[in-house]
Structure 1
Amino acid sequence: MEKNIQSGKQLSAKTQLSTTPLFPLGALVATPGALDLLDRNGANATVYLSRHQHGDFGTLCPDDAQENMTAIKYRFRVISAYDVGTERLWVITEADRSSTTLLLPSEY
């Protein structure tokens, strides 16, 4: 089990949920493709940003979710993936926490 960085709570590798943000998002950026995907599906970016910041990394396998918890602890890049409609949305927070980007895998 990994500890929540800010509160010290024990988190399971499976759920990775926290009631408090685990890291700052920095400046928020979205690519045209990500904005179009969200618009076409009537989805709000805030939902995905909140899930990302609170340890719900979406469709990542357990090993990748655990890597994100390590990345939070040691200030590496944090990556989440969410299914929006029939497409995938990535949310990436840079290691220095200066920015978080919403983008499509094809825009990486």
Structure 2
Amino acid sequence: MARKVRLGQALATIGVLELCRYGLDLGPLFDRHASGDWGDADEKTRKENEHALTHGGRITSVYHPNGRRVWIVTEADRSRTVAMLPHEKAQ
């Protein structure tokens, strides 16, 4: 897959790491996100992501591995990308 998004440091929250203990493989999710596959993100988020690719801004993908909703979020400065559960979103 061709990379559209520079991920920076790849991180995961405690909730996602707990899912990894039960078999979640984050590699394919980070790969999909980096290639511009936004998963199940809504249309508004998809448009924001496409705009962010050329103009800067945060990029968010949504996936449902094993029936659990996981967000992959790359910061606007591309310094890091975090896999998180929705309730773990920073305020």
The structure that is strand-richer by fraction is 1
Cα distance, 1:43 vs structure 2:
2.4
Give the match's secondary structure for 2:63.
Answer: strand
- Deviation string, structure 1 residues 42-68 (Cα, Å, up to 9, x no partner): 221110001001111111123321221
Aligned to 1:105: 86
Alignment of 1:35-46 (within 5 A): 35-40=17-22, 42-46=23-27
Aligned to 2:61: 80
Who wins on radius of gyration, i.e. which is larger? Answer: 1
Count of residues paired in the alignment: 89
TM norm structure 1: 0.76
- Deviation string, structure 1 residues 72-99 (Cα, Å, up to 9, x no partner): 1111000011002221001000000000
Aligned to 1:22: 4
Give the match's secondary structure for 1:24.
Answer: coil
Structure number with greater CO (CA < 8 Å, separation at least 6) is 2
Q: Is the 8 A contact 2:5 2:36 kept in 1?
A: no
Cα distance, 1:103 vs structure 2:
0.6
- Find the aligned partners of 1:39 and 1:88 in 2 and give their Cα distance: 16
- Find the aligned partners of 2:85 and 2:24 in 1 and give their Cα distance: 14
Aligned to 1:53: 34
Aligned-residue CA RMSD in angstroms? 1.2
TM norm structure 2: 0.89
Q: Once structures 1 and 2 are overlaid, which stretch shifts more, 29-38 or 94-103?
A: 29-38
Structure 2 regions of 5+ residues with no counterpart?
none
Identity %: 35
